[in-house]
Structure 1
Amino acid sequence: MKLQLGKPDIIIDPFNDFITALTIAGASDNTIRLYSIAIRDFLDFIKKDPRYTTAQDLNKWIMNILSRNTKSKNDNDIEKRRKKAVTARHYIIAVLRFLKWLGIDIKPTLPRVRRREIRALSEEDIKKIDENLRRLKDKLLIHLMLDTGLRSKELLSIKKSDISIEKRYIIVRNTKNGEERIVFFTEDTAKMLAKYIKNLKDTDLLFNMSYHALYRKLKRLGKKIGIDLRPHILRHTFATQAIRKGMPLPVVQKLLGHKDIRTTQIYTHLITEDLQEVYKKVFG
């Protein structure tokens, strides 16, 4: 849902008044944090009342934040640069929203962001996981993410009371866009869940761990069996498998919690690669 910030009659303190408007409009803590950091960065750079911002001020600031990227060609650094470019774009959009709220309508060029390479597990990889992982909690973590495509934050916020093992669904409450949704899981995962929950005591949280603990656990488990295992790879695997098996794109969008179907469409290029492989086998 787009935030309705209105148009202020009187602005005494541009920064604090805008953050107050965001809070009243129902912006999430993450949105408020991002906007605060971005706007503070912009104000520290231009060193003047933002109500007198010019296109030149904005362009100089944009050039400044883009120049903070590293210039190495190393693969890891390329990914870091991509992340920084994404952050820079978010910063610019936040500042543009702030300026528009102030009545300043400047339309600069937004930086192009290189699309992240999408990696997904193969059927062989998933078979490897099942054959090599023995600990119930580890298998359940991975299978829940493979069945649902949940984001890490969503997975780690699930409570026992959010789960219906009988009907095989989970109500996801702590979502990225603040809108509850329902995801489903398979019969095999239901059996694992029932067994796991039976022995879960002293907490209502299904998995009582931090994101960093989850990330490290998956990396360590993957390393043991020779697979690159990370939270977003499991999410990508769910999406690509769902599309490969014929699930309509709007349904995949709903299950993943994407606001815009164009975000879901990034997974279709992997399906195109499948078609190309079949074509090559037939025609050479």
Structure 2
Amino acid sequence: MTKFDLPPPPPNARDMRIGEAIEAFLAALAAAGASAKTVRAYRAALRDFLEFVGNRAVREIGASDVAGWVYDRLSKGLRRPRGDSGRARRMTMHYYTLFLRSFFQWLGVDVKVPVVRKPRRARIEALSPEEVERLISASRDVLDLLIVALLFETGLRAREAVGIRVKDVDMSRREIRVRDTKYGEERIVLYGPLTEQALSLWLTLKPRRPSDPLLGISYSGLYKRLKSLARRAGIDPERVRPHVLRHTFATEALRRGIPLPMLQRLLGHRDIKVTQVYLHVLNDDIRAAYQRAFGYTIPQAAWPPPPPPQYPQPYIPPQAYMQPAPGLPGNAAAWSLRAPGRMGERGREEAGEQA
């Protein structure tokens, strides 16, 4: 999580009502350079806590209040849930508890905030190249085509895409300057021939000023268009979301040989560990290829091989060792019927005398 160099809290922070202290903290965040989106995220977490504990004095808040809030939200759900699953609750409360801990640290108040463990990352969902082609074929107008091409060839987040302005696009270099990013840091993304053709058609049909939004739709408008495209393409709408197309771009980029550090820059990840999650998808590809090559079964008749034939030694009763062999003198009976190599010292001496 990003650390900000915050200005100090007011001298009377412990005597302030918690609602007032929250507003002072949010103002400090904004003054330290936090983006509007970051401030909104902190505001949502801290106001959720305020709703639970009430607008009491900061000095009255203790660890039991924090523990009760965490338990209530994990067991009963959030006031404004982003999802109904237990995983979504834990993910939200992971960040909420981190934000609350930062708030108390800034105030200098010794209140223990147990950070909810972040749930394991869900499996990365990506579309196949054939499914992307079906979405393109199902486009009902140039804007549909541009949305699919842009998200698939750039890996932009949905909010980044709807925030692009015409002046941000350099058609001579086939690149886009992304300004409204997740972490507030501008970056350059590249686009391919499909986006180039769609852009040319779009700007010809819909001439725009340099300062105008390129797509001219909201996040919800983009989301609804993708769902409609999925239904026309015969793909489960639950599998077609803006971020799934971002995953698809990242997966295809690695498959086509783009190095991981370069992909990190294109996606706008601060930590390369976030980009490395897409390697798991490639591991699945490796496993599938290995299974195709070596996943055959050995025919039943070929394994296990039949046992080698056994040749048991003939049984010779002990008394046979003492019977004279035909045509030999009696003193040769001690060695004449013995197995080869088992002749005793005395037998060899007697054999020498007979020779």
Deviations 1:205-264 (A, max 9, x none): 111111111111110111111124221111110011111122111211111111222221
Equivalent residue number for residue 28 of structure 1: 35
Question: Which of 179, 182, 185 lines up with 1:176 in the alignment?
Answer: 182
Equivalent residue number for residue 94 of structure 1: 99
TM-score with structure 1 length normalisation?
0.89
Shift in Å, 1:185: 0.6
Deviations 1:79-128 (A, max 9, x none): 64322322222211111100111123535242332423321111211232
Distance (Å, rounded) in 2 between the aligned partners of 1:196 and 1:249: 32
% identical aligned pairs:
39
Pair 41,187 (structure 1): closer, same or farther in 2 beyond 3 Å: closer
Shift in Å, 1:186: 0.9
Equivalent residue number for residue 252 of structure 2: 241
Letter in 1 for 2:218: S
Aligned partners of 1:172 and 1:180 also within 8 Å: yes
Shift in Å, 1:38: 1.8
Letter in 1 for 2:23: N
Shift in Å, 1:134: 5.3
Aligned partners of 1:160 and 1:197 also within 8 Å: no
Q: Does 1:219 align with 2:262?
A: no
Pair 132,57 (structure 1): closer, same or farther in 2 beyond 3 Å: closer
Distance (Å, rounded) in 2 between the aligned partners of 1:60 and 1:29: 29
**Greater RCO structure (CA 8 Å; 6+ sep):** 1
Q: Does 1:158 align with 2:164?
A: yes
Distance (Å, rounded) in 2 between the aligned partners of 1:134 and 1:196: 13
Distance (Å, rounded) in 1 between the aligned partners of 2:273 and 2:84: 22
Q: Does 1:264 align with 2:275?
A: yes
Distance (Å, rounded) in 1 between the aligned partners of 2:59 and 2:30: 21
| Corresponding pairs, count | 278
Aligned partners of 2:7 and 2:32 also within 8 Å: no
Q: Does 1:8 align with 2:28?
A: no
Shift in Å, 1:149: 0.4
Distance (Å, rounded) in 2 between the aligned partners of 1:146 and 1:83: 26
Equivalent residue number for residue 25 of structure 2: 18
Equivalent residue number for residue 82 of structure 1: 87
Equivalent residue number for residue 116 of structure 1: 122
Higher Rg:
2
Aligned partners of 1:11 and 1:17 also within 8 Å: no
Q: Does 1:231 align with 2:242?
A: yes
Distance (Å, rounded) in 2 between the aligned partners of 1:267 and 1:124: 19
Task: Tell me which protein shows more helix as a share of its residues.
Answer: 1
Letter in 1 for 2:92: T
Shift in Å, 1:26: 1.8
| Structure 2 residues not aligned, in runs of 5+ | 296-355
Letter in 2 for 1:91: Y
Equivalent residue number for residue 73 of structure 1: none
Pair 51,265 (structure 1): closer, same or farther in 2 beyond 3 Å: farther
Question: Which of 205, 219, 225 lines up with 2:213 in the alignment?
Answer: 205
Aligned partners of 1:50 and 1:99 also within 8 Å: no
Equivalent residue number for residue 74 of structure 1: none
Equivalent residue number for residue 57 of structure 2: 49
